Amino acid sequence: MKFIFLPNSISPKLLTILAALFIGFFCFLETGIIPPLQSPDERDHLKRAYWLSKGEFFLKTPAGEVSGGFVDSGLENYLEYCSRYDRHTDKKIAQNDLNIIRNFQWTADKTFTVAPGTGYYFPILYTPQAIGLSIGEYTHLSIDNSYRLARLMSAIIACFIIIAAFAISAPNALVLALLAIPMTLFQIAAASLDGMATAVTILALAVFCQTKRLASHTPPALLYTLSISVTLVAACRLHALPILLLPFMAWIYTKRKNVLWQTLSCTAFVIGWTLLAMKMTISNPHPDTSVHEKLLGIFLHPLHFAHLIVNTIADPGKQNFYICSFLGDLGWLDTLFPTKFYEALTLLLLVITLLCLPWKNQRETWISSGIMAGMSLASCLLIFMALYLAWTPANASEIEGIQGRYFLIPALFLAYALGELKITRRSLCAFSLFAVLFLFSTYSMISVLLTRYYIVS
């Protein structure tokens, strides 16, 4: 059978929007299945959203203490109670637990709590969670209902942003597959920063693809969207800093002076925010070596830092952990899938990648694709640098604290470097495999989540 009719009968944007709707619907279902605060560091992210709801952009640092802020004592008690399930796979959610969780109320009393890891993030992407918490507090909902509203709003808005991005530019099947792996689905359904950061990253990449196509005819609204989305992502994810190259490339394509000014403004803001946040946030009041000393050491002894990276990557235990926590290590990294699941998912991703590779000679896209591939590599290096600076002792032989989910943004850079979805037999085959991967992921996730949190063996 010939496929001559396909380009006129199937819209790439429609296919990807339908895929995003299915992904969004499953994330909506997840918010009803997953118990509260089961994503890594979700408690600290919720605190940051609470502070944003009060108009606070920076953390507070009492003398000799770690950075944090004041939260409602009822919220703090709720966060503390829900922590009893972290890394305790033997504990299931009982009806009595649900009754206790539902009874936590807002008190209007404030207590100081720490959350230093969130101090480096420009907090605007917490807006959906902040709105949910504000609505819950001012309408006297229970804290549990307020949290669930915040989580639901974050998931819904993140999915709407992804749908808008796909309506601007249809991504290839690898981008869709990266959104359909269990770890991504789980994080989108959480009240942490990952879902919104992923969505806005995809929006920036989609707008850039459209800008590259339209060049000097790009509408100003798209260029402003690119600048804002790039700024938000780069200011809340240090390893996403290479995304600042997109506005510079947009300036080259459009040849507009105002785009250059937007680009310079984005870069200046991100650098300024990052330096200010590093100065104002204290994660360890008595460090053995300061961040500035470590950073200077990287530039003075780059081979030593390269040796640390090689040692880290060469560690078989870390290799396995990175793969599992990229594909799906749910909960507080305590809920694994069977080994066969990771093998099958890895194989599907590899085949989809091969099918998405632009095998034909496309010289007009070499430069932009090469730059985006370089962005992916630079982003990976920044992950190792950030975790070395923040969490690794100066005399360590390996870099600590890295999780596989941190590599989603570099993976998205690389996936977009492969081009957009076009209706060909190969791309439709890749899209079909994405559908298989999505069904495989969601079916497996439901079983694993029910077993982890509810079913007593």
What integer pLDDT is reported at residue 1 of this predicted model?
A: 43
Cα dihedral 26, 29, 35, 41 sign? positive
User: Minimal CA–CA distance to 322: which of 407, 207, 398?
Assistant: 407
3-state secondary structure at position 6: helix
Residues 159, 22 contacting (CB under 8 angstroms): no
Q: Does 442 have pLDDT greater than 80?
A: yes
- pLDDT tens sequence across 24-72: 999 999 998 999 999 989 999 999 999 999 999 999 988 878 899 999 9
Q: Does 3 have pLDDT greater than 60?
A: no
Q: Does 275 have pLDDT greater than 60?
A: yes
Q: What is the DSSP string of 296-319?
A: HHHHH-HHHHHHHHHHHHH-HHHH
Q: At 214, give phi and psi (nearest 5°).
A: -85, -25
Average pLDDT of the residues in 280-307: 80
User: Minimal CA–CA distance to 84: which of 64, 101, 60?
Assistant: 101
What integer pLDDT is reported at residue 7 of this predicted model?
A: 53
3-state secondary structure at position 114: strand
Place of tokens 């932009």: 368
Cα-based angle 33, 190, 455 (whole degrees, multiple of 5)? 30
Report pTM: 0.94
User: Minimal CA–CA distance to 27: which of 144, 195, 201, 205?
Assistant: 195
Q: CA–CA separation, 320 vs 56, rounded Å?
A: 39
Average pLDDT of the residues in 402-427: 93
Q: Does 5 have pLDDT greater than 80?
A: no
Q: CA–CA separation, 407 vs 316, rounded Å?
A: 18
Q: Does 322 have pLDDT greater than 80?
A: yes
pLDDT band at 296 (very low <50, low <70, confident <90, very high): confident
- pLDDT tens sequence across 217-267: 999 999 999 999 999 999 999 999 999 999 999 999 999 999 999 999 999
Average pLDDT of the residues in 170-192: 97
Q: CA–CA separation, 442 vs 438, rounded Å?
A: 6
Q: At 334, give phi and psi (nearest 5°).
A: -130, 10
Residues 142, 41 contacting (CB under 8 angstroms): no
Q: Does 285 have pLDDT greater than 70?
A: no
pLDDT band at 288 (very low <50, low <70, confident <90, very high): low
Q: CA–CA separation, 457 vs 454, rounded Å?
A: 10
- pLDDT tens sequence across 100-155: 999 999 998 999 999 988 998 999 999 999 999 999 999 999 999 999 999 999 99
